[in-house]
Amino acid sequence: MEPNKEYPWGAGKKPDEIIQDWEKKFKSNLPKGSAWKYFIPLLLILFLLKGVVYTVEPYEEAVIRRFGKFVRKAGPGLHFKLPLLFGLGEEVNKVNIEKKFREEFGYRTIEAGVTPRYSNRDYSDERLILTADLNVMAVQWSVQYRIKDSVNYLFKVRNYKKTLRDISESVMRDIVGDYSFDEILTKRLELNINNLVQERMQKILDYYVSGIQIVTVEFQGVVAPDAVLTAFNEENEAEQEKETLKNQAWQVYNQKIPEARGQALKMLREAEGYSAEVVNRAEGDAERFNELLKAYTRSKQVTKRRIYMEKMGNVMRTAGEVYVVDPDVKGIVPLLRLGSDEN
């Protein structure tokens, strides 16, 4: 038999009519005047079952206390406990141990997404930090954490969120205060400040037995405060101009110095060549003079005549015309026409 489309519960009746039929059957099966005698115990049983049975989700961990004292943990699934009546029995606290919680410092995110929106409130008391060179820096950062021990998380720290925020601010101010403004601004990745803050925070939280595990520490922004931002930008421009001039000076230096060194080396080599030439010429003249002295010693007249003839030969080669003058002749009679094409 196909079910009625208007009344899918069958028999052509609405859900309210079906419930009324069940109530009539239940009352008709009870002895007269005994309905409340069965109904009240039934409610009591349901109430006790509700206090005895509890469910733990896959991402949760349950902490059970008996008379306020921790007795055990329970993982995901269906569990039973002593009912809590008049302050006696077992009480269950469920803790999300997989969720990553987030705390923001120096800013607050109102709405996350592709274009997140941030609060306009001033958080200068959190983000302004004094650096090692006594400059003020505006630092914005976030801390992600999760619960690694539910018992310690619930019972070892009274206000875990305030404790975490105080530790994070203290550690960040301590580490940033060890470096100069420029180092934090330009070299924070090389300095690995994120990991330094995370490691130190974790040590303190473990010392307090907080049950919290730091997942990441992320810088969201590192800038100069608004009050000195103009001066800071001017300083950056001056530093950039300084670097530009320095690079230009090094460019000129690299161009001129090799050229000057080349000229100096050339002059040195020319001087060395001239020195060698003069020394060799002097040594040759001295050797020639010694040979001439030896010849003069052996034959003075021949040597004198030879020297005279060689000298006169050199003189005649440079002379234009030679005239021999006879005192008895009134005119000048050319004897030799040296250098002339006719001779």
pLDDT digit string, tens, across residues 161-207: 999 999 999 999 999 999 988 888 878 777 888 999 999 999 999 99
**Do both 79 and 187 map to the same domain?**
no
- Residue 33's pLDDT is 52
Two tokens, residue 182:
């420029």
> Do 79 and 113 fall into the same domain?
no
Q: Which residue has the higher pLDDT, 327 or 168?
A: 168
Domain tally, the chain: 4
Same domain, 246 and 158: no
198 plus 179 within the same structural domain: yes
Contacts of 213 (CB under 8 A, 6+ apart): 145, 146, 147, 148, 202
Kindly state whether residues 55 and 152 are assigned to the same domain. no
Residues 148 and 248 in one domain: no
Rounded-to-integer distance, Cα 133 and Cα 180, Å: 5
Higher pLDDT, 298 or 338: 298
User: What distance in Å separates the CA atoms of residue 255 and residue 257, rounded to the nearest whole number?
Assistant: 6
Same domain, 85 and 108: no
Kindly state whether residues 174 and 249 are assigned to the same domain.
no
Highest mean pLDDT among 17-26, 54-63, 296-305: 54-63
Dist CA 15 CA 20 (whole Å): 9
Q: Do both 91 and 120 map to the same domain?
A: no
Q: Which of 223, 251, 282 is the last residue of a domain?
A: 223
Q: Determine which helix (DSSP H) or strand (DSSP E) holds 171, and give its type and residue range.
A: helix 160-176
Residue 62 lies in a domain: yes
Same domain, 62 and 78: yes
| Averaged pLDDT of the chain | 80
pLDDT of residue 133 exceeding 50, the answer is yes
Task: Assign residue 12 a region (left: φ > 0; alpha: ψ between -120 and 50; beta: otherwise).
Answer: left
Mark whether 48 and 111 lie in a shared domain.
no
Same domain, 200 and 248: no
Residue range of the domain that includes 286? 236-298
The answer to pTM > 0.85 is: no
The model's pLDDT over 206-240, given as tens digits with 9 standing for 90+, comes to 999 999 999 999 988 887 776 666 776 777 788 88
The pLDDT score that the predictor gives to residue 142 is: 94
DSSP string, 240-273: HHHHHHHHHHHHHHHHHHHHHHHHHHHHHHHHHH
Look at 36 and 65; give whichever has higher pLDDT: 65
Domain end marker among 199, 223, 247:
223
